[in-house]
Amino acid sequence: MVDDSPMFISRLALLLRESGSDSEIFMTETYDEALDCLAEHRPDIVFLDIHLQNKSGIDLLKVIRLSGWNCKVIMLSNETKKAYRMQCERLGSVRFLDKSNDFENIPALITELN
């Protein structure tokens, strides 16, 4: 999980644990932390916020795709403009979720993607 909101990361981690997920969960808040975590752990699924403190999540999505890391990226945002969705899809995200309205659908989505 890459999100600059510790509260959102905690909520998402709790949701995943409550849904019975036994996957290891890594949480980062910045672009740089995320790069290090991705390189070290090579996760299967990445939840990525568009707006990070020091750089855009869209920039990180580009790096993930150019690096050849084989992970599924799910973009998360409260900014649900169609232009963001389309850009993220073009760059290879498998889904784009509205943090507020799609939050409860995340466990089912993980099951679907596995």
Q: Residues 71-84: pLDDT tens digits? A: 999 999 988 789 99
Whether 92 is covered by a domain: the verdict is yes
Q: Within 13 Å of residue 68, how many CA atoms lie on the same side as its CB?
A: 0
**Predicted local distance difference test score (pLDDT) of residue 20:** 80
User: Which pLDDT does position 76 carry in this prediction?
Assistant: 93
In a domain, 1, yes or no: no
Indicate whether 83 belongs to any domain.
yes
pLDDT number for residue 3: 94
- The closest of 2, 15, 3 to 109, measured between CA atoms, is 15
Domain containing 59 equals 6-113
Please tell me the predicted confidence (pLDDT) of residue 36: 95
Residue 53: name the closest of 28, 79, 23, 78 by CA. Answer: 28
**pLDDT tens per residue, range 51-74:** 998 899 999 999 999 998 889 999
Residue 26 has pLDDT above 90, yes or no: yes
Tell me what the pLDDT averaged over the chain comes to.
91
**What is the total count of domains within the chain?**
1
